[in-house]
Amino acid sequence: MMYQTMAAAGGPVFLLVLLGYVLAWRNIMDLSAQRALNRLAMWVLMPGSLMYLLSHERLAEIFDPALWGAFYGAIAIVAVVAVAVLRLAFRCSLPETAVLMMASTFSNLVLLGFPIVEGAYGRPGLTILLIVVSIHAAVLVTLTVLMAEWGLSGGGGWKALRKTLSGVVRNPVLIGIAAGVALSLTGLRLPAVLDQALERMQGAVTPLSLLLVGSGLYGVKLRGDLRVSLFLAGAKTLLLPLLVFLLGRFVFGLPPFTVTVCTVIACMPTGANTTLMAGTYRLGENRVASSILIGTAISLLVAPVLIAVLA
């Protein structure tokens, strides 16, 4: 029974990721196509889908601050562990530690988390994921920039922070989330035609997201210090979900379904924003790229197991 659950949860995800990889390998989905489709997903389909889902939920009734406490409490513990190990064991500078710490805590909740949670748990699971996503980028990007800028300038140079936060505020995914939350809390409804158009966007998000994950893996090679990359991938896809489960169940007393969904999304690999951060500071780029590759492989194996075991 458990193996059937694993196959049902992981099979379609794995096949679509594999198909994306094959399409990139055969040059059907080349780099320019990937960039165009990624922009379509991140600027149109994903914001529209999130806006639709949130606008139809009664968030004021289902929101539980303990959910944030369990998820982001676990992130705080992993961040402290990562900083200690990176500074003391691997002798990384503070700015590089900031970027690598983000790689150990920042989850790919949109392109990979969304389709996996939708396939395994449907709309109730997506609601939990969206509550987590709503502050995910703002919290972790801010923390990373603060640490990196502090290390580079001894506490000055906050232009980068303002610029980065400005980019976060203008992020179309976060705008879609904010609009959906506003509609839910105020009870307002979109015109029927627009509402139906947004509903239809949701059907395209899951397969396109998984194809993009697979195509993005093609051509990526392991490089840099693999010890660091293995540590980051392990912290992200193994330690973080374990801590989310323990905090959610035994400290914050969350409902079993909420604990399950939060644990599964915590095992998602590192998100692409970490690559952008590493490129911005030109620090740890190879280590971050390798950790994403390793973490994605681990996540695609671990997520179906968690879904089956915690069912």
- The CA angle 12-18-23, to the nearest 5 degrees, is 125
pTM over 0.85: no
Q: Which CATH number fits domain 2-309: 1.10.10.60, 1.10.287.130, 1.20.1530.20, 3.20.19.10?
A: 1.20.1530.20
| Tens-place pLDDT, residues 24-64 | 899 999 989 988 888 888 788 888 888 888 888 777 666 78
91 CB-near residues (< 8 Å, 6+ apart): none
Q: What pLDDT band is residue 102 in, cutting at 50, 70 and 90?
A: very high
pLDDT of residue 277: 78
pLDDT computed for residue 151 by the predictor: 73
Distance CA 237, CA 247 (A): 16
* 210 in Cβ contact with 115 (< 8 Å): yes
For residues 226-253, average pLDDT: 96
**Could you give the C-alpha distances from 253 to 61, 134, 193, 249, 311, in angstroms and in order?**
18, 22, 41, 5, 18
- Condensed to tens digits (0 to 9), the pLDDT of residues 109-143 reads 888 888 889 888 988 898 899 889 878 877 887 78
Alpha-carbon gap, residue 303 to 268, rounded angstroms: 8
pLDDT at 144: 83
CA atoms within 13 A on the CB side of 48: 18
pLDDT of residue 181: 83
Over the stretch 262-307, which tens digit does the pLDDT of each residue have? 999 999 999 877 877 787 778 888 888 889 889 988 998 899 889 8
